[in-house]
């Protein structure tokens, strides 16, 4: 990621945290409403069920907030310097080919040698750079 993309990525994490905080506020209001309904005997069975669901969601959302905050701190600490975001280098890249036989496709490829240290905790042999940070981010949506 370049400087602008990294800055935007950090901003998107902060927006996610803000959205989760708004969700907490909304859930707290719903919990108060369902507690009141249970206390007043209004639709008790359904209100208790909804109360439990919202309390569970509230606990999960609070956990998500802490996890995303920790993630933000980790990303900022480990990836803030541009040199830390370099994960490898192009070691082979043939020229772009247009109308390449036999199916007349466009050929645009390269081979990248990755810095093993950046991926020391990776398990398996598949790497999707498009989701490298995105997967960590989307698990909190």
- In terms of pLDDT, which residue wins out, 62 or 2? 62
* Domain match, 72 and 92 both: no
Output the six-digit token pair for 118. 């950046």
* Domain match, 43 and 101 both: no
* Domain match, 11 and 52 both: yes
Could you identify the residue written with the tokens 């209004």? Answer: 42
- In terms of pLDDT, which residue wins out, 101 or 127? 101
Could you identify the residue written with the tokens 């109360």? Answer: 51
Output the six-digit token pair for 137. 């981010």
What are the tens digits of pLDDT across the range 20-63?
Answer: 999 999 999 999 999 999 999 999 999 999 999 999 999 999 99
Residue 141 lies in a domain: no
User: Which pairing describes strands 111-114 and 105-107: parallel, antiparallel, or unpaired?
Assistant: unpaired
What is the tally of structural domains in the chain? 2
pLDDT for res 78: 87
Question: The CATH number of the domain where 10 resides is what?
Answer: 1.10.287
**Contact predicate 53/30, CB 8 Å:** no
């Amino acid at each position: 990621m370049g400087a602008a993309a990294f800055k935007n990525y950090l901003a998107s994490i902060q927006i996610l945290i803000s959205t989760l905080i708004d969700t907490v506020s909304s859930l707290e209001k719903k919990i108060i409403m369902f507690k009141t309904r249970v206390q007043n005997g209004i639709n008790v069975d359904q209100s208790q069920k909804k109360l439990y669901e919202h309390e569970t969601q509230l606990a999960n959302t609070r956990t998500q907030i802490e996890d995303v905050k920790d993630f933000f701190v980790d990303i900022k600490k480990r990836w803030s310097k541009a040199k830390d975001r370099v994960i490898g280098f192009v070691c082979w890249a043939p020229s772009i080919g247009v109308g390449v036989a036999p199916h007349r496709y466009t050929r645009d490829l390269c081979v990248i040698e990755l810095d093993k240290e950046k991926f020391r905790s990776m398990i398996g042999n598949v790497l999707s750079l498009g989701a490298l940070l995105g997967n960590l981010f989307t698990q909190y949506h």
